[in-house]
């Protein structure tokens, strides 16, 4: 995979490429910015000026001066004390996303961290060294970042090419020695919004793929149920000028072009149920929210989120204490996308019900090949309903949570990491719900195969993509394994290239 070269800033697509294994390489200009900022921190230390986290403690200890001999110890202590996350470990892709965003933040040139520290993070990405990062415990940042920083100083644990080992052994496997942190470096390593921004970029990558699959799977369902295409006419959709709605309508018309099943159903009903005719509205709204969220994540990646931020020159150093590590815009955007993806999965579950429910479809009950002795997809719809209900609970905004930390010094929390984690959990459920719809609708198509009417060329490719791996279901094997395979067939393939 080609390198991602960091010139001025990253965007979410660049982070997504790093997540998938691309090395992250610093340009000469990025290195120069990093080195200049480090010299500025050195000048601040020489001047003795009071600077948060450089010559003082952190949090509620911001007014406690730390003498020069103790500043390196302060950096190390910050990492050790802040590495207090709990719970299951993050997966490798999540950790790669966070590290990429960390490097992006430091490369703006306002952190003051040494080039060697940033280069070591880039080496972790290049050599697939994944620090063990507990998934829980961050009110916004800090704990996730600190567990990554542990490995930089030879503490903690990591996996190198999938092999678990201590932090010091991981460094040795990469030909590196533990870093001895200097002034401000401990704070820079745990500070900023890299955690939530990196996870947000990962979520965007997954959501983008899922939005395309949702449109494609919905098209198969519309075809199987003989939907009335007048609801998706270009002229009528233009009456509601939503870019996402119009894009989804165009996709449905393209995917269903040439469908004999759709043509045979023309005029058969006055209008379809809302779970069918509102596909452009729900899927389109999710696309509109996606675009807003992507812009916010890109803006976050373009932002300096260290506190304090250094500026000026080594001869005239400046330091600013501010609140850039707080990210309410990011948490609100991620919450919004969580709601949109929860609604996307909810309408998919309703389409599943219309496929299996003999009260509303003309298909065999529950898509069973023998609906006397077989249950077919009856309980798969239960699973989809349970996951959709869980998504509704998860969609409660994290950005409205309260919380006081650090002796009331940090008395407002925006919770962007919680928002990112909730969004990723919703995407897990949404992928599985849509996989259930995909498996069910392919079954539906097979059960109406006796009709002389044909599928559209595009939907036929989707049908064959699944049937190459999974045969018709006849209550002859555990259905759950089919649903998991279906999900993998979706997440491993770009549906727009089929």
Annotated active-site positions, please? 52
Token digits for 197?
């921004």
Q: How far is CA 179 from the centre of its chain?
A: 31
Task: Tell me the C-alpha distance between 26 and 34, whole Å.
Answer: 10
Round to whole Å and give the CA distance between 124 and 88.
Answer: 21
Query: Two tokens at 82?
Result: 């802040």
Q: How far is CA 457 from CA 12, 178, 217, 245, in A?
A: 33, 58, 14, 23
Cα dihedral 40→46→52→54 (10° resolution): 80
Phi, psi of 137 (to 5 degrees): 125, -5
* Residue pointed to by tokens 């007014």: 63
Token digits of residue 412: 């407002």
Percent helix, strand and coil across the chain, each rounded to 5? Answer: 60, 5, 35
Residues in Cβ contact with 7 at an 8 Å cutoff, skipping those fewer than 6 apart: 27, 29, 30
Beta-carbon contacts of 259 under 8 Å, excluding residues fewer than 6 positions away, are: 223, 454, 455, 456, 459
| Tokens of residue 115, six digits | 């080039």
Distance CA 146, CA 201 (A): 20
Residue 168 main-chain phi, psi, to 5 deg: -65, -35
CB 17 within 8 A of CB 1: yes
Neighbours of 73 (CB within 10 A): 12
Q: Scan for tokens 């925006």, then name that residue.
A: 414
Q: What is the DSSP letter of 232?
A: G
b/e per residue 337-375 (b: at least 16 CB within 10 A): bbbbbbbbbbbbbbbbbbbbeeeebebbbbbbbeeeebb
Q: How far apart are the first and last CA of the chain?
A: 21
Q: Extract the tokens encoding 221.
A: 């369902």
DSSP 39-81: HHHHHHHHHT---TTTTB-SGGGTTSB--GGGHHHHHHHHHHH
8 A C-beta contact, residue 337 and residue 399: no
């Amino acid at each position: 995979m080609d390198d991602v070269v960091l010139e001025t800033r990253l965007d979410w697509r660049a982070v997504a490429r790093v997540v998938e294994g691309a090395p992250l390489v610093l340009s000469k200009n990025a290195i120069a910015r990093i080195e200049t900022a480090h010299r500025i921190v050195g000048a601040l230390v020489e001047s003795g000026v009071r600077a948060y986290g450089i010559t003082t403690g952190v949090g509620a200890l911001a007014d406690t001066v730390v003498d020069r001999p103790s500043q390196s110890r302060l950096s190390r202590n910050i990492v050790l004390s802040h590495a207090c996350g709990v719970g299951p470990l993050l997966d490798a892709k999540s950790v790669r996303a966070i590290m990429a965003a960390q490097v992006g933040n430091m490369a703006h040139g306002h952190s003051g961290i040494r080039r060697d520290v940033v280069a070591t993070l880039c080496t972790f990405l290049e050599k697939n060294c994944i620090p063990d990062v507990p998934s829980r415990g961050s009110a916004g940042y800090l704990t996730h970042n600190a567990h990554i920083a542990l490995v930089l100083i030879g503490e903690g644990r990591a996996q190198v090419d999938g092999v678990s080992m201590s932090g010091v052994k991981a460094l040795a496997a990469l030909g590196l020695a533990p870093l001895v942190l200097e002034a401000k470096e401990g704070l820079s390593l745990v500070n900023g919004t890299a955690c939530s921004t990196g996870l947000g970029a990962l979520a965007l990558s997954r959501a983008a793929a899922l939005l395309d699959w949702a449109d494609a799977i919905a098209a198969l369902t519309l075809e199987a149920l003989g939907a009335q295409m007048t609801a998706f006419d270009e002229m009528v959709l233009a009456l509601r000028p939503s870019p996402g709605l119009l894009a989804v309508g165009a996709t449905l018309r393209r995917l269903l072009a040439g469908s004999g099943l759709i043509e045979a159903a023309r005029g058969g009903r006055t209008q379809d149920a809302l779970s069918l005719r509102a596909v452009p509205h729900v899927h389109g709204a999710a696309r509109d929210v996606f675009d807003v969220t992507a812009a916010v994540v890109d803006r976050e990646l373009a932002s300096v989120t260290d506190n304090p931020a250094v500026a000026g020159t080594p001869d005239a150093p400046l330091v600013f204490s501010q609140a850039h590590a707080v990210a309410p815009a990011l948490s609100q955007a991620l919450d919004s996308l969580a709601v949109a993806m929860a609604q996307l999965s909810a309408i998919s579950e309703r389409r599943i019900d219309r496929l299996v429910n003999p009260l509303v479809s003309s298909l065999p009950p529950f898509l069973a090949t023998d609906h006397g002795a077989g249950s077919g997809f009856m309980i798969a719809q239960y699973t989809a309903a349970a996951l959709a209900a869980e998504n509704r609970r998860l969609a409660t905004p994290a950005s409205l949570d309260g919380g006081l930390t650090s002796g009331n010094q940090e008395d407002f929390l925006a919770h962007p990491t919680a928002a990112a984690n909730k969004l990723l959990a919703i995407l897990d459920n949404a992928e599985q719900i849509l996989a259930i719809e995909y498996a069910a609708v392919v079954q539906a198509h097979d059960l109406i195969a006796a009709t002389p009417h044909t599928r559209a060329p595009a939907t036929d490719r989707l049908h064959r993509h699944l049937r190459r791996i999974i045969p018709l279901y006849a209550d002859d094997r555990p259905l759950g394994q089919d649903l998991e395979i279906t999900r993998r067939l979706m997440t491993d393939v770009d549906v727009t290239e089929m």
